[in-house]
């Protein structure tokens, strides 16, 4: 970790000098990445010094900061929203507020249309909501499809370090357990299979850190019970340094059945879990050898084969507007090149905020 911190400092020093000489959005974006990495390593004060320096060198503004969703979420988590608006400047502050408003609307299942001066439910532009209330008596949004809310909450909160935020997702996983969320039907050289995501809180547990009551009190229960998983690439039998790791939030497991099957055909697990990438954002499927149950620390899943013939790590691309109908998600599984074996364990490397 110390080596990574030194490297990050050298990168920041070089970027800072270039930013002072010429405006270049690519350099600014790289600088935002450095700030995010510093927060990720626990150096919040140093990160804010760097962000202040960027603002100063860019005439008291933070160009295109409104597109840096993970950095924004970090600062919100640390109650630094007002400081962010101060550093961003007037124009970017408006963009930031607009971005946050759009996020709230998506979580409610709503879209705003400038040409109609009205909201509609997501993906249903032809039927504006008009004057009817956004919320019903029980607190549900008129635009809220339950699966859509599920996805939008994951997108909004999945990269948070707040145990409260991640707990909201865990509660939603409990609510949706027992459902099968149809993702797609595509061949992937596997005979035209259907794939579905089975939501479940922390489907994979580790033998040294079970989520049940009475486990080893030296292990933070929140990390295990929330389903936080770290996957480190293997290098000659040993895990690579943490900066090469995937930091994941377990969301359930992946199943398949022949594409021609009817709804009564049973789903079969592919051996992958479905997870949220807490660093880069996005849904992924990672092969662990089983859909649920207990595995051992350091388990190397790539030594087994999956009946789906999907790679050990695949992106699950779910469109933002996936709910014009209720027939599942037109997602795709993007096959990744194999990088080697993975060491798996509960993710204790990213400190949770209570």
Instruction: Please state the domain extents for the chain.
Output: 3-102, 161-346
Average pLDDT of every residue of the chain:
78
Pick from 288, 292, 283: nearest CA to 305: 288
Q: Calculate mean pLDDT across residues 299-323.
A: 67
Q: In this structure, how many other beta carbons lie within 10 angstroms of the beta carbon of residue 292?
A: 17
Q: Calculate mean pLDDT across residues 264-291.
A: 89
Ramachandran bin of 217, using left for φ above 0, alpha for ψ from -120 to 50, beta for the remaining angles: alpha
Q: What percent of the chain has pLDDT over 90?
A: 27
Cβ burial, residue 348 (10 Å; 0-12/13-18/19+): middle
Tokens 């479940």 belong to residue: 200
Q: What is the pLDDT of residue 324?
A: 40
Q: Calculate mean pLDDT across residues 191-209.
A: 86
Residue 340, classed as helix, strand or coil, is coil
Q: What is the pLDDT of residue 55?
A: 94
Beta strands in the chain (DSSP E): 110-113, 118-121, 181-186, 193-199, 204-206, 228-235, 238-239, 246-258, 268-277, 283-287, 293-295, 313-317, 332-335, 342-346
pTM of the shown model = 0.72
Q: Calculate mean pLDDT across residues 250-272.
A: 87
Q: For the chain, what is the total number of helices (H) and then of strands (E)?
A: 8, 14
Q: In this structure, how many other beta carbons lie within 10 angstroms of the beta carbon of residue 136?
A: 11
pLDDT in tens, 119-164: 666 655 555 665 555 555 555 555 555 677 788 889 889 988 888 8
Q: What is the pLDDT of residue 212?
A: 45
The CA distance from 187 to 192, in Å, is 4
Give phi and psi for 141, each to the nearest 5: -85, 145
Name the pLDDT band for 103 (thresholds 50, 70, 90): confident
Q: Calculate mean pLDDT across residues 186-200.
A: 75
């Amino acid at each position: 970790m110390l080596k990574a911190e030194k490297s990050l400092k050298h990168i920041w020093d070089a970027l800072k000098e270039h930013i002072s000489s010429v405006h270049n959005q690519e350099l600014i974006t790289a600088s935002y990445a450095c700030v995010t990495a510093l927060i990720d390593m626990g150096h919040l004060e140093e990160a804010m010094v760097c962000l202040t320096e960027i603002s100063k060198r860019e005439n008291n503004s933070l160009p295109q900061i409104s597109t840096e969703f993970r950095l924004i979420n970090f600062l919100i988590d640390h109650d630094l929203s007002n400081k962010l608006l101060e550093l961003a400047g007037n124009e970017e502050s408006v963009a930031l507020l607009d971005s946050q408003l759009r996020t709230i609307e998506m979580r409610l299942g709503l879209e705003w249309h400038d040409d109609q001066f009205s909201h509609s439910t997501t993906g249903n532009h032809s039927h504006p909501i008009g004057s009817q209330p956004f919320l019903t008596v029980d607190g549900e949004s008129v635009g809220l499809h339950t699966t859509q809310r599920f996805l939008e909450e994951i997108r909004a909160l999945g990269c948070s370090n707040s145990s409260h935020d991640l707990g909201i997702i865990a509660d939603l996983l409990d609510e949706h357990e027992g459902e099968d969320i149809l993702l797609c039907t595509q061949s992937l050289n596997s005979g035209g299979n259907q794939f579905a995501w089975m939501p479940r809180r922390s489907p994979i547990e580790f033998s040294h850190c079970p989520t049940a009551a009475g486990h080893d009190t030296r292990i933070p229960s929140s990390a295990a019970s929330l389903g936080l998983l770290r996957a480190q690439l293997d290098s000659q039998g040993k895990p690579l340094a943490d900066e090469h790791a995937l930091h994941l939030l377990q969301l359930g497991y992946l199943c398949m059945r022949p594409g021609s099957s009817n709804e009564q055909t049973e789903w079969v697990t592919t051996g992958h879990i479905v997870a949220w990438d807490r660093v880069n954002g996005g849904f992924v499927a990672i092969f662990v050898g089983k859909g649920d149950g207990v595995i051992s620390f350091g388990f190397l899943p790539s030594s087994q084969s999956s009946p789906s013939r999907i790679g050990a790590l695949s992106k699950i691309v779910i469109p933002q507007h996936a709910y014009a109908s209720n027939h599942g998600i037109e997602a795709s599984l993007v096959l990744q090149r194999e990088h080697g074996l993975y060491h798996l364990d509960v993710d204790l490397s990213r400190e949770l905020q209570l």
